[in-house]
Structure 1
C-alpha cells in the first residue's frame, strides 16, 4: 500500500519522528553558528562565554509517555480550547442580568420589541415580561383581535385602542385583569367580547366606552370597580335603567361622568340624577331633549352640590326658571346650555350676578353671533362659547381629535408601547 494512501495512524512513528528530529538539528546548527560567530570574534574566548552564548537546550518532550504513545502507535490529542479573555472594548449580551436587559428593552418601540422576541428563548421571555407591557397603545392596528388577546395576557395596566375593529375575541384566561385605564371609544367590538373583558376588571379607575353597544352584564360588572373615578358612556346603548342605578350606587368614587346622548328614556335620566355620588364634580347630561325636566335638575343639585362643570345642552324642556335652582351650585365654574332654545337672551344677562365664580359659558344656538358682544359686555369675566366640545371624562379632548394625529395621550399621559403606522 503506498504511503500517500495510508491513514495517519498507520504511518510508522519512527519515520515521522526522525524527520522531525533531523529538521530540528539542522535548525539548531544554523542558530548556533550564527550566535557563536557573533560572540567568538576575539581570541582566547573563555569557556564561560561559550556557555553563555550557546543556545539553551530545550527539554525533549517525552514521546513514549504511556502505552498509547509507544513506537507502534500515533495518537492525535486535542488541545483544550483556550478561554476567550474579555476585552475592555466588548461585552456579551448573555452575561447581562435580566434586570439590566429589561431596563434596556423598556426604551424599545413596540415593533422592535416584537422583532427582538424571536431571537432566542431568553429574549422571548424577557420581551413579554409584564413590566414592559404596563402601558400599550394599539390605535391604527386593523383586525386587532389577536393582538388585543395577547396584550391582555401580559397584565397590561393602561390600554388605548380607540376607533379599532375587534373581531370575535376568544378570551378565556383565568383570574382578574389588572386594567386601570382603558379607552375603547368608537370601536367596533362585539358585545360578547366586551363582556369577557369588562367582567374580569376589578381595578378600573378611568374607562371610556363611548359609542359602544353595551349590556346589563357590562354595566353590572362596572359596579365591581369601586375605585372608578372617570367614566365615559357617551352615546352608549343596550342597558336598562335598574342596572344603571345599581352601578352608580356601587361606584361611589366617580368624580367625572359623561353619560350624554345615550339611548335613554325618562327612567334612565331619573336613575342617573337619583343615584349619582355626592362627590361628582364634572357631569355631562346633555342630549335629552324631552327627558330631562326641571324636577330632575332639582334632584341633581340637591344630591351633587360640588359640581364644577355641568353640561345640560340640548335639554329643550329647560327654561329660565332653572337658574335659581342652579344657583345653589356654589362651585360652578363651567355651564353649558347650548341649544336650550326656550332660554332667552335677556335671562342670560343675569348669570354673571347669579354665578360669581362662573368662568365658562356655552350657549351655542341660543345666542346669535350678533348678540354675543352685548352679552360679553354684561359678563366681562366669563368666556362665552369658547369650548365647542365637551372634555368631561374623555381620555382625549374632542377638540384635539379632529385632524390631530400627533396627540395620542390618554388622560394626559402617553402609553409606553405604541403601534406606529
Structure 2
C-alpha cells in the first residue's frame, strides 16, 4: 500500500490519485455506473474511453428499444447508442416492432450480441440467416413474437451457438426439423418452450437427460408429450429451480410424488390435472426437500383440497405467491373465505 505525507497528498491531487488506479479497478467502477454517466466518462481521456468501452463493462448493460409511443424518449437514446457504440453492445431487447425490416436495420449494426430478446415483434424467415452472425450468442428470447408467414416455421440450427445457455420461444422456433440441435448444447440450462406442442415423449426425455446435470429452468407445454417418466427424470436434476408444465392431463401420482425430491426448486407451476390424488399431493407438498419454494401455481388441479392448502401454508414459509386458479375444491367453497387470512402476507390467485 502507498503511503504519503500530507504534503505528498497535496502535491499529487485528487485527479492524479484517480489516474493511479489500475485498469481493472476503473473497469469494476464503470460496471456500476448508469449508461448516461458511462458515456460522459468516455470524454475524460483516451484511457477512460478505452476502459469505458471494455467488454466487461458492456456485458452489464442491457439496452431496450421499444416502438410503443410512451417509450419514444428512452428509445431515441437507445438509437443514439446503437449508432455510436454498435460494436460495444452485447445485450439488446427490441419490443413492439411490427415490421421485420425495422428489426433488421437495428440488428445489422450490432456484431457482438450475446443476449438478444425480441418481445411482441414480427419475425420473418430471414431471421434464420440473420441470427447466425452472432456465433457467441448466449441467450435468445422470442417470447410473444409472431412469425410471418403464419403457416411457416422458423428453423434455426441452435447447435451453431455453442455457448447458448438460455432459450425462450413462442409457439414457433422448435419442431422435429431442428429440435435435435438442442441436445448437444453443453451450456443450455434455461429452456422455456411452454407453447410448443408435439415434440414427442421420447424427445422430451432425451432433452432432459442431455441437460440433467445443468438444467436450472424448464418450462414445457406437456400434454401427450410429458408422462410420469419425464417427471422422474426432472426430479433428478440437482440444479432445477424453476419448473412449469402447462398441461398435465396425462400425469399420475408417480410423477407428482417424484417432484418432492427437488431440493432447490423455487418456482413450480403444474396445471390441468384430474388424476393426482389428494394423498399424493399431501405427500409431495409435505416434503421437507422443497423448502426453498417461493412461487407455486396449481391451476385447475382437481384434488387440491383444503388439507393440501393447509399443508402448503405450514411448510412453505418463503412463499411469495400462490395460485390456485380454478381449483374446483377450493374456489366457491367455504374454505375460500379463510384463504386471505391464512396467506395474509402473500398474493393468492383464485380466478
1:296 is matched with 255
Aligned equivalents of 2:124 and 2:331: distance in 1?
46
**Change in 2 beyond 3 A, CA 1:134/1:348:** closer
Q: Pick from 118, 132, 139: which aligns with 1:161?
A: 118
Q: Check the 8 A contact 2:286/2:312 in 1, yes or no.
A: no
Deviation at 1:184, TM superposition (A): 0.2
2:195 is matched with 235
Alpha-carbon displacement from aligned partner over 1:330-370 (angstroms, at most 9, x marks no partner): 42343322221233335533443455665543222232366
Q: Check the 8 A contact 1:144/1:167 in 2, yes or no.
A: yes
Structure 2 residue 348 is matched with structure 1 residue 385: yes
Provide the TM-score with structure 1 as the length reference: 0.54
Provide the TM-score with structure 2 as the length reference: 0.64
Structure 2 residue 292 is matched with structure 1 residue 336: no
Deviation at 1:157, TM superposition (A): 0.9
Q: Pick from 361, 368, 373: which aligns with 2:331?
A: 368
Residue segments in structure 2 that go unaligned for 5+ positions in a row: 1-44, 64-75
Which structure has more strand as a fraction of its residues? 2
Q: Pick from 93, 99, 114: which aligns with 1:143?
A: 99
Aligned equivalents of 2:81 and 2:147: distance in 1?
27
What is the number of residues matched between the two proteins?
A: 274
Structure 2 residue 274 is matched with structure 1 residue 305: no
Alignment of 1:120-269 (within 5 A): 128-129=86-87, 131=88, 133-144=89-100, 147-148=103-104, 151=107, 154-169=111-126, 171=129, 177-189=135-147, 194-196=154-156, 198-251=158-211, 252-259=213-220, 262=221, 264-265=223-224, 267-269=225-227
Aligned equivalents of 1:98 and 1:193: distance in 2?
48
Aligned equivalents of 2:156 and 2:229: distance in 1?
26
| SS of equivalent residue, structure 2 residue 204 | helix
**Change in 2 beyond 3 A, CA 1:231/1:342:** same
**Structure exhibiting the larger radius of gyration computed from Cα positions:** 1
Aligned equivalents of 1:200 and 1:285: distance in 2?
28
Deviation at 1:294, TM superposition (A): 0.8
CA RMSD for the aligned pairs? 3.8
Structure 2 residue 281 is matched with structure 1 residue 318: no
Which fold has the larger relative contact order, with Cα–Cα distance below 8 Å and residues 6 or more apart in sequence? 1
Structure 2 residue 79 is matched with structure 1 residue 111: yes
